Structure 1
Amino acid sequence: MSENNTVEQLSPSGENAHHLVELEHVEKYYGNLHVLRDINLKVDKGEVLVIVGPSGSGKSTMCRTINRLETIDSGVIRIDGQALPQEGKGLAQLRAEVGMVFQSFNLFANKTILENVTLAPIKVRHMDRDQAEKEAMDLLARVGVDSQAMKMPSQLSGGQQQRVAIARSLAMHPKVMLFDEPTSALDPEMVNEVLDVMVELAQEGMTMLCVTHEMGFARKAANKIVFMADGQILERGTPDEFFEHPQTERAQEFLSKILTH
């Protein structure tokens, strides 16, 4: 009987039967522009994957395909073993499992901070309002903005708004969090307050894919670094491997530019 259990849980290679996020042979074009070229990627539960590379390398596009904000032309994307549906209810359900934090905060300007965080749990998860508000306040406290709960987004700084956006994503109890350059629209002094929240999430075991230019964060929080250029993954490895011993000339050139300033 134990043998049968093992067969169910393990693949022939002895690994987990499926990964939390999996991209296989993903291709994406914008007209004649080939923006994603044969992308293969696996992310396991609790892993923090940081995606780096020059502008225009396809990092954000890849990140946005994972909850189908961008469609793909071929290949397959799976979340927790389940292929990403094309559309409809199945896609909405799967999207609820995948939190996303963008460059811009995308908060509802006409709703309070508390309402912004409780809206999806009440509407999508059909959570009781009192329960949703209690959880929202706990999350706002976790990201350090619970004192702002009754304010409107316009009354908060950019760093505070981005922390609210993180709390809003966490309110859906996602299996994985996607961060698409979450600090790029912030004033320099606000960057660390957002990165500190992300580091905490990583340390608590949240599965995360982060597109970022913040190399200090990449070094500190990532289990794995993926380096992209020209729509391809050129390198993958631990932070030490990538920063200390980049394998490709493209990665060496990229690091020499960003680490000397």
Structure 2
Amino acid sequence: MTAITETDTVVEFRGVGKRFGSMQALTGIDLSVRRGEVVVILGPSGSGKSTLCRCINRLEAIDEGHILIDGHEQPVEGRDLYKFRTEVGMVFQSFNLFSHKTILENITLAPRKILGLDKQAAETRAHELLAMVGIADKAHSRPAQLSGGQKQRAAIARALAMDPKVLLFDEPTSALDPESTREVLATMRSLAQSGTTMIVVTHEMSFARAFADRIVFMAAGTIVETADPETFFTSPSSDRAKAFLSSVH
């Protein structure tokens, strides 16, 4: 594994802390994610996984430390924060598609309004992305006409349309039935194999083991250990990780 240099690092946490009132949600988070790397964050419920993910594009404001994207400090507010968020794609468990717009309109809205693409260029790119995620025939459908798995794949296409530097997934399959879960995981596998930089919060152990470059295991708002998937799943170093793995098998 190559050493991390400044140019390799897309996302960097430096001593990040986050509180919700009196509850310390994140403590002393130090983490670097390299370009093209797939990092899967695992841990029990309440361990801070989703909070860590949401802090990256400042959906949650941090209380201590620093978060950098491509070496640039996370802006606090205003136009700079708006631009910063265009560089960080996020796929939520609840899809967050506009129900009154077609799938094509959902995908082209931000590239046209924020990146300034003309309609034809934005739609051409959207059709390419819809084909890539396997729902090319749904461009003119509305979200209510799609299955859960199709909605999530549309949400992935929408995130990719902004050409983000990193793609975040926050429990993307937790609201889906098994068939839809398989569809979405297949799309994520394709992205992982294509070199997309991804940070994935998930309970899907098969995906984590097969497609992560690195596992980050969290508990009680801290990073307990990091390891390659084979090492983590066969010989975790912490008792907390061993207990977690025994509970999910």
Q: Give me the whole-angstrom Cα distance separating, in 2, the residues matched to 1:15 and 1:213.
A: 27
The gaps in structure 1 that reach 5 residues or longer are 1-13
TM-score (norm 2): 0.98
1:16 aligns with 2:5: yes
Q: What residue is the counterpart of 2:111 in the other structure?
A: 121
1:70 aligns with 2:69: no
Q: What residue is the counterpart of 1:79 in the other structure?
A: 69
Q: What residue is the counterpart of 2:51 in the other structure?
A: 61
1:40 aligns with 2:30: yes
Query: Helix, strand or coil for the counterpart of 1:60?
Result: helix
Query: Helix, strand or coil for the counterpart of 2:59?
Result: coil
> Number of residue pairs matched?
246
The gaps in structure 2 that reach 5 residues or longer are none
1:153 aligns with 2:143: yes
Look up the equivalent residue of 2:158 and give its one-letter code: R
Query: Helix, strand or coil for the counterpart of 1:200?
Result: helix
Query: Helix, strand or coil for the counterpart of 2:164?
Result: coil
Query: Helix, strand or coil for the counterpart of 2:216?
Result: strand
- Of residues 213-222 and 16-25 in structure 1, the stretch that sits farther from structure 2 once superposed is 16-25
Are the counterparts in 1 of residues 14 and 66 from structure 2 also a CA contact under 8 Å?
A: yes
Q: What residue is the counterpart of 2:229 in the other structure?
A: 239
Q: Which has the larger radius of gyration?
A: 1
Q: Give me the whole-angstrom Cα distance separating, in 1, the residues matched to 2:41 and 2:237.
A: 16
Provide runs of 4+ in structure 1 moved above 3 Å.
Answer: none
TM-score (norm 1): 0.93
1:146 is displaced (CA, Å) by: 1.0
Query: Helix, strand or coil for the counterpart of 2:187?
Result: helix
Q: What residue is the counterpart of 1:9 in the other structure?
A: none
1:15 is displaced (CA, Å) by: 4.5
Q: Give me the whole-angstrom Cα distance separating, in 2, the residues matched to 1:221 and 1:115.
A: 31
Look up the equivalent residue of 2:20 and give its one-letter code: Y
1:70-118: CA deviation from partner (whole Å, max 9, x where unpaired)? 0000100000000000011111111101100001000000000100000
1:211-230: CA deviation from partner (whole Å, max 9, x where unpaired)? 00000000111000000000
Cα RMSD for the two superposed structures: 0.8
Look up the equivalent residue of 1:190 and give its one-letter code: S
Look up the equivalent residue of 2:240 and give its one-letter code: R
Q: What residue is the counterpart of 1:139 in the other structure?
A: 129
Query: Helix, strand or coil for the counterpart of 1:20?
Result: strand
Q: Give me the whole-angstrom Cα distance separating, in 2, the residues matched to 1:30 and 1:126.
A: 37
Are the counterparts in 1 of residues 11 and 70 from structure 2 also a CA contact under 8 Å?
A: yes
1:17 is displaced (CA, Å) by: 2.4
Q: Give me the whole-angstrom Cα distance separating, in 2, the residues matched to 1:103 and 1:151.
A: 20
Between the aligned residues of both structures, percent identity stands at 58
The one of 233, 237, 243 equivalent to 1:253 is 243
The one of 21, 32, 35 equivalent to 1:31 is 21
Query: Helix, strand or coil for the counterpart of 1:72?
Result: coil
